[in-house]
Amino acid sequence: MSRKVVPSTWKEFMDSGLLWWVNRSLHLFGWSICLVEEDDGSSSSAYPAKTPWRGFNHELEEGRFHDLTRHLQEEMPRLVQETEKEPAP
């Protein structure tokens, strides 16, 4: 298996729960990654921003933990395969 970088979309990153997870971590430092969404649901750009927020409300946290757990469950076979076949560069 050859290692390669596979481009993705901001929508996939957001739907997976990873944008929330990254922003959850960045909030500790007063930062966030912001996406500019178009009417069709696509993202036209992203930028870092300083924010006064330090976390998310309980309902959002609960939903995003579910999204991230589902994403990990779906991706786990690929992740395990990639780590067993080739050593890191």
Tens digit of each residue's pLDDT (9 = 90 or more) over 56-75: 999 999 999 999 999 999 99
Tell me, yes or no, if the pTM score tops 0.85: no
The C-alpha atoms of residue 67 and residue 57 are separated, in whole angstroms, by 16
Q: What angle do CA 53, 54, 60 make, to 5 degrees?
A: 85
Ordered by start, the domain boundaries in the chain are 10-85
Please give the single-letter amino acid code of residue 17. G
β-strand partners of 33: 48
- Predicted confidence (pLDDT) per residue in 20-61, tens digit: 999 999 999 999 999 998 888 788 789 999 999 898 999 999
What is the per-residue pLDDT for 30?
96
